[in-house]
Structure 1
Amino acid sequence: MPDYPAPDMADVDIIEVMKALSDPIRLHIVRLLADGAPRSKTMEGWGVDITKSTMAHHFRILRESGLTFTLISGRTHAIQLRRSELDARFPGLIAAVVGENSTD
């Protein structure tokens, strides 16, 4: 079983997070994950026209930067935004990135 380590949130660096978010495909992925629900890592439903290996690369960058977790259940792999942890560490960042109105 492959291991998908993610950094401890205390070790997540804002510069690495911003570098990960600077790619349009990764930004698109984060926007889709912004509701906090896990999504299957299959190619369907992401709305991008890239190869499976390129998508895996983007998932890895998001995980290694501290933005996401990879969840494993049997043979099923899913990805989930670390929304509550990111909101606690960098207040307002994810809301700004996904275009949520924070003046409500």
Structure 2
Amino acid sequence: MIATIWRFRVHPEMAQAFERAYGPHGDWVRLFERADGYAGTELLRLHGEPSTWLTIDRWRSEGDYERARASFADEYTALDRRCEAYTSDETWLGLHSVVA
């Protein structure tokens, strides 16, 4: 199992739209659910910093993640562009191995 982690700085006035897009039933989850090996997403709001959020996307393997990115490249790019309006900063924190 692997996880990709992203940090976002969200414009305060866009917090609800951000939650709708990145939350457990949001646009990103609906895209990823179509891919083999997708195991879920967590949306975390950093305590004490209300404009900072983390997403943790879990995948069965790095190969599943890479195949999903390739298979849905156009949709991924279009959704990413639309969601840019919600944030002032988006930082990929890497691909992580899940330790059981």
User: Under a length normalisation based on structure 1, what TM-score does the superposition of the two structures give?
Assistant: 0.33
TM-score with structure 2 setting the length: 0.34
- Structure with the larger strand share: 2
Structure having greater relative contact order (Cα 8 Å, sep ≥ 6): 2
